[in-house]
Structure 1
Amino acid sequence: MNRYESTSAWRDVDDYFIEALVSEDEALVAARESGATTTMPNAEVAANHGALLGLLVQIAGAKRVLEFGTLAGYSTIWFARAVGDDGNVITLELEEQNAAIARENIARAEVQDRVEVRVGPAADSARELIDSGAPPFDLVFIDADKPSNPRYLEAALELTRSGAIIVIDNVVRDGAVVQPDTNDARVHGVREVVDDISRNPGLEATALQTVGLKGWDGLIIARRK
C-alpha cells in the first residue's frame, strides 16, 4: 500500500474523532457548507482543525487574532468564539463575494460584534494595519495564497510581540514540500517561509503533518520568543 491509498481510512478516523470530540452547532455547519459557494470551494479547515485553532487561542489566552484568508468565515467563527466577548478578530479576504458570505455566517453565529472583515489583497490590508499603529495581535493564522506566505510572515512579525503565536496552514501539500525543483509556486511559498522561520532567532517553531478529510497536509506552529 502506498501513502495515498489510505485516504478512506483517514476520513473514517477524522469522522470518528469529530463525532466524539468536536461540537459543531448549526452556525458552524452552515458556514462550513457555504464554503462550496466561495471562489475556493471546500477549502475551509476541517472541523477538528477548527477546534484545534480555537483551543490554541484559549491555551494562549489570546484576545486579538489576525487571520489571512477568510473564505466563508468558518475558522473565523472558531476564533471569534475562542477570544470571548472582550476579544477581537480581524480577518483579511481578497474577494468581496467571499467576504459577503463570511459576514452572513458570522452574523448567524452571533459574533459579528467582535469580527472585522477587511476586503482587498491581504498584504495591503496588513500594511494598512501596520501603518495605522494597530495594537499587537496575540495569534496570527496564515491561510491565504501560499506564494505570499513569506510576505504574510513578515507582516505578522510586525503586528505581534513576544509570546505571540503564528500558525501557517497547508504546508505539506501531499508531500510536495520536499521537492525543491517543483514548478508549483505554492510549494515554493511554503519552503521560503520555512527558511525564513529557521533563520529567525526570534522564533521557535515546529511542523505537524496531518491526514484526514482534507487529505495529506499539515501546519507550522511558531511562537515569538
Structure 2
Amino acid sequence: MPNNQSPEMEQLRAEIAAAAARMIAEDGADYGTAKQKALKQILGNQRIRGDILPDNAQIEEEVRQYNELFFSDTQPARLRHLRHLALRLMEEFAEFNPYLTGAVLNGTAGAHSDIHLQLFAESPKDVEIFLLNKNVDFDVSETDHYKGRRNEPVETLSFLREREGVHLALYTVDDLRNAPKSGSQGDRANLDAVRALIAEGDRE
C-alpha cells in the first residue's frame, strides 16, 4: 500500500476498511464485494483521484478487531468448530494434497464463513468421481487462480458438510510444485500445519 498518501486519504482508506470489515463479519460478504459496497456507502457517486481502496491485509485486521469487539463471546468457538471440521475434511481428501485457505485459516471466520480448501490432483475429474462415489451433491463454479487473474480460473466444487459450506478449488499437481510454501500463519496450510494450528488453539 502506498505510504506517501495524505492524512485525509489514509483516513478515508481506514473508513472504507472498517465499513468493509463490518459487512464481512456481519453479512459474510467477500472482500471484493465488501470493498466496493463500502466505497459506495462512504463516497456515494463522488470521485476521488488515486487508489483509496484498502488492501486485503488492512481489511483482515479490521475484521479481526471487529470480531474481538462484537463477537468475542461466540467467534472463538465458531472458529474452533470450523477448523476441526476443516481438518476432518482434509484428512478425507488427503490423497489430493489439501490445503486450507481463507478466514478459517487466518482466524477471522465468523457466523457466515465457509471452509475453503485447495486440492491438487492429477485431474479435477478425480475429485468429482471421489465425491460422486460418496453420494455428495455438489455445485460447480470457478475461482480465481491463486497466482492471480492472469492465470486461468480453476474449477471449484461446493457442497454442504454438517450444514457448513465447503468449497474445493481444484488445481493440478504441477500447480502444487510451484505453489507458495505452507505455513499456519500464511495464505494456506497443509494437514500438518492445520493440526499444529488446532493444537495451539486448544492449549489457549
TM over 0.5: no
TM-score, structure 2 length as denominator?
Answer: 0.26
Rg larger in 1 or in 2? 2
